[in-house]
Every structure is written in C-alpha cells, then in structure tokens.
Amino acid sequence: MPEALSDLAKNAFLVVGALFPIVNPIGNTPIFLSLTRGLSGQGRTALARMIAVNGLILILVSIFIGTYILAFFGISLPVVQVGGGLVVISTGWALLRQSNDDESDDRNGGKTSRRECNEADYSRQAFYPLTLPLTVGPGSISVAIAVGANRPEGSEGRWPLIAGMLLGSLLIAASIYLSYRFAERLGRTLGDAAMNVIIRLSSFILVCIGVQILWNGLSALLRTVVR
C-alpha cells in the first residue's frame, strides 16, 4: 500500500511539474482580464469554472488517449506543434495590436454602446480562445501527450497511475479556476496603467511561445526530411 501511494504521488507531481509552467494560469491572468473586459464578477466566476473544466478535459484526453487520436488521424506530434504554434502566434498578435480605445471610452462615458456586454458571447468563447489556445494550448497538449505516451509498458490498468495523473490534472484545473476567478481583484490591485503594461508584455511573450512551438515542430519535421 505505501508503494502504491508513493506511485500515486509521483505520477501526480509528474503531471503538475510538467504542465503547470506551460499552462501558467497566473501569467495568463492579465490576458484573460483583457479578453473579458466588461464582464460582471459573477459572469467571470462562471467563465473561470467553464475554462477550468474544459482545460481538465483537454489535459485528460491528451494524457490518456492523445496518442491514439493522433494515430487514428495519421497526425504526428510535430504537425500538431506547427498548427498550434500558428494559432498561438495569431492570438498573441491580435492581443498585442489591440487598442485601448474601448477601455478609455468606458472610463470617459462615451461610446459605451459599442462595448455592450453580452455574457452569452463570453460563454461561447469559453473553449476558443480562452481555453484553447490561451490556457491549455498546443504546448500543454504536446507535453500531456508525451507524459501519457511515456507510461511504463503494461501499466495502463494500475490504479496509482490513473489516480495520480487524474489528481495532477485536477490540481492544474484548480489553479486555472483560482487564477481566473480572482483575476479582477488582481487587476484592481495593480491599476490600469500597470495592467496595460503587463498585458502588452504577456501578449508579446505569447507570440514568442507560439514561435517556439512552431519552431519545435518545424525542426522535428525538417530532421525527418534530412534523414
């Protein structure tokens, strides 16, 4: 029994250690705030819950059946990285070029009808782009598939492995929910000027992450051509 608990903890920490730095929910908080500007606190809480659940499903699917899905469609992991990298670059570039007109109009009391908030619209964005690629992007999916693919042979039915990876995924989902749930409080603490700087920097970093994911995929594909 102690050995089983040790395996459970080891697998849980493996998932958290591999995915948390890439998912980075705390670092994504300013971008989440920018994309949900005008949403009520209650609506943002519900949205954070939906994103956390979506992220959990994506991670679990990637870990347990990701390799089978790719094999079924005849898609290699580098191709997923190339396609996902392009999507991440597009999202980061759009955020980087986003103007501050809407925000200033709201504060000055002008043109607010143009920023009319419809919470149903935000609900439709819960999966794309807020979950994929912002929170659980191609980098996270690639790592989750790699973690699942590196399971020891014949260990698929062992409960410590399944429970450990499930627990690790739940911890990642909980960190996503808590980070996005209290994003507005963080924004109020930092203020508009600081948040704008952080959003621009985060958007630029998001573009760089997309380029890195794209290059990882291209490098793997180019190596196969050279061989």
Joined tokens for residue 168: 């690790």
* Interval 67-101: pLDDT, tens: 899 999 998 888 888 888 888 888 888 878 876 65
**Mean pLDDT in the chain?**
84
| Residue 145 reports pLDDT greater than 50 | yes
Q: Which of 28, 47, 34, 48 is nearest to 115 (CA)?
A: 34
pLDDT of residue 104: 46
Positive or negative: CA dihedral 3, 7, 8, 13: positive
* Interval 6-59: pLDDT, tens: 888 998 998 998 899 889 898 899 889 888 888 888 899 999 999 999 999 999
pLDDT of residue 222: 92
| Residue 112 reports pLDDT greater than 60 | no
Give me the DSSP letters along 90-135. HHHHHHHT--SHHHHHHHHTSSGGGG---HHHHHHTIIIIIIIIII
Helix (H, G, I), strand (E, B) or coil at 203: helix
| Residue 162 reports pLDDT greater than 70 | yes
* Interval 168-181: pLDDT, tens: 999 999 999 999 99
pLDDT of residue 110: 43
Tell me the H-state helices in 150-191.
159-181, 183-190
Q: Which of 220, 182, 127, 163 is nearest to 10 (CA)?
A: 163
